[in-house]
Amino acid sequence: MAQLIVALDVPSAGKAEELVDALYELDVIVKVGLEALCGYPERILSYCEARDVRTFVDAKLHDIPRTVGAAVAQLVRPGVHIINVHALGGLEMMQAAVESAAGRAGELGIEPPRILAVTLLTSIAPEDLNELGLQGGPGENAIRLAALARDAGCAGVVCSAQEAGDLKRFFGDDFLTLTPGIRPIGSAHGDQKRVTTPAQAVAAGADYLVVGRPIVEAADPLAAAKAILEEMSVRA
């Protein structure tokens, strides 16, 4: 069963906590991304930990292996369910993240968070790849980077739902796919270029669907999240 992750992309800890409370009854995972990690990391992570709300720490780590391993060790704590890194950081960097997560979780006596690797950002359009020096289309790049992530021991990848089906076929059902760029029918795309509806993402085999603005900017975030959960339960 695919799970919904709501991105707490808001400028203050108070607003993020309000969202956690508003969505509490749905038992969704919340995403603590760069805005929260740069602005109020300890407050929101301890708020979620205290309420048993699972988190996806969307740190998108990309640095030398030692630095990434050390950063992952700092992030591991009860309730942190997923941490991500950029696959473009390379095999050794991803291995350092996986080993560090397991090591630190062992010290704390908790389940290690899943390390997922970002293949390509969903805001990258096919025509941007050439400019970045990456050969081939988004699909080919996603497969190549996912193979590297799998070899490094990552639990899966962050990718566009448009690639999730192929990734499942290549790497098997147990290799997890987490897909941002989700837009319910009729909602604004914003800066996302490769978008998919909730039902299409589930049909493609996505394990986790990340939704930010369509919920966070809704007049009633709880109702918006419920509508998306409903769309996720309907086949595309």
Active site residues: 60
How far apart are the C-alpha atoms of 173 and 30, rounded to whole Å?
23
Question: Residues 7, 53, 93, 157: which binds ligand C5P (CB under 6 A)?
Answer: 7
User: Can residue 210 be called a binding residue for ligand C5P (CB under 6 A)?
Assistant: yes
Total chain residues near ligand C5P (CB under 6 A): 16
Q: What is the 3-state secondary structure (H, E, C) of 157-225?
A: EECCHHHHHHHHHHHCCCCEEEECCECCCCCCCCCCCCCECHHHHHHCCCCEEEECHHHHCCCCHHHHH
Q: How far is the CB of 195 from ligand C5P (least distance, A)?
A: 8
User: Can residue 180 be called a binding residue for ligand C5P (CB under 6 A)?
Assistant: yes
Q: How far is the CB of 106 from ligand C5P (least distance, A)?
A: 28
Closer CB to ligand C5P, 34 or 108, in the complex: 34
Q: Are 47 and 19 in contact (CB under 8 A)?
A: no
How far apart are the C-alpha atoms of 225 and 231, rounded to whole Å?
10
Question: Residues 128, 213, 222, 229: which binds ligand C5P (CB under 6 A)?
Answer: 213
Residue 4, SS3? Answer: strand
Give me the residues that bind ligand C5P (CB under 6 A), please. 7, 9, 33, 58, 118, 121-122, 158, 180-181, 190, 192, 210-213
